[in-house]
Amino acid sequence: MQDLAPDGAGKAANAGFDAFILLIDSGISLHLWSNQHFFATVLFSCRRFDVVNALQSPVNNSGRCNLNTTPSDHAGGPPPRSFWVLGAVATVWNLLGVATYLMSVTMSPAAILAMPAAERALYQNIPAWVTSSYAIAVFGGTIACVLLLLRKSWAVTLFALSLLAILLQMAYTLFVSPLLAVRGAAGAILPLCIIAAAVGLLWYARDARKRGWLG
């Protein structure tokens, strides 16, 4: 930031500060006239953005600069394309979880008998509360994804519920059941990926709500 104090070389009315933020192929410059209580910014971007929102965000209804505004104060515009892509991918991911759950709870006796003894023991010794957590995790996550695509703030609550259910399920899977003894360390990869995905979706939904994309 550079202080543009007049020091006799300019008018006192023009005293202020300039700041420059250099980005890759883009940039932001900020200009503040202290005595005039006037603020200006220049945005340069190689990507498309909503010019109207960019112009309205720092200005109040009187047309004067509002230095106390923040991006979240004036959010609420349409979400970017990445929002819809991530929402669609997350929905497919959770639907795969629903399909896996349904195959697990509807497995025929013949299919269970055909499993290796160690795998069969894993399957048959799963407590009812773990199966219930599994159901809440996948169905709650799927509903949350639908609410996210519908831009409903309830998606945050459902993602949180799904994450809680996943943590309960995976706590049993990783620390109580003999899964790692049967499948080795590689058996922890999928559970950890599921936890990471659930945490990421909850974080993204909360961020989307903060930006005003969810109502």
Of 74, 103, 118, which closes a domain? 74
Which of 84 and 26 is assigned the larger pLDDT? 84
Answer yes or no: do 104 and 195 share one domain: yes
User: Do 200 and 110 reside in the same domain of the chain?
Assistant: yes
**How high is the pLDDT of residue 27?**
63
Nearest by Cα to 97 from 147, 45, 133, 56: 133
How far from the centroid of its chain's Cα atoms is residue 155's Cα? 11
Does residue 22 register a pLDDT over 50? yes
If asked whether residues 173 and 125 sit together in one domain, one would say yes
Helix (H) or strand (E) holding 152: none
Q: Tell me the per-residue pLDDT of 28-66, one tens digit each, with 9 for 90 and over.
A: 666 666 666 565 666 666 666 565 555 555 444 444 444
Tell me: do 112 and 182 sit in the same domain.
yes
Query: Residue 10: which pLDDT band, with cuts at 50, 70 and 90?
Result: low
Residue 88 has pLDDT above 90, yes or no: yes
Is there a single domain that holds both residue 68 and residue 101? no
Measuring CA to CA, how many Å separate 215 from each of 62, 198, 212? 27, 21, 7
Note down the domain range covering 196. 81-210
In a domain, 127, yes or no: yes
Across the chain, what does the average pLDDT equal?
A: 82
Tell me whether residue 64 is exposed, middle or buried, using C-beta atoms within 10 angstroms of its C-beta: 0 to 12, 13 to 18, 19 or more: exposed
My answer on whether 20 and 69 are in the same domain is: yes
Give the model's pLDDT for residue 77: 79
Q: Which residues pair with 26 in a beta bridge?
A: 23
Query: DSSP per residue over 93-117, as a string?
Result: HHHHHHHHHHHHHT--HHHHHTS-H
User: Is 32 within the bounds of a domain?
Assistant: yes
Same domain, 106 and 52: no
Examine the domain organization and report whether 188 and 117 are in the same domain: yes
User: For 99-150, how does the pLDDT look when each residue is reduced to its tens digit (9 = 90+)?
Assistant: 999 999 999 999 999 999 999 999 999 999 999 999 999 999 999 999 999 9
- Residue that wins the pLDDT comparison between 30 and 177: 177
Which of 34, 49, 74 is the last residue in one of the domains?
Answer: 74
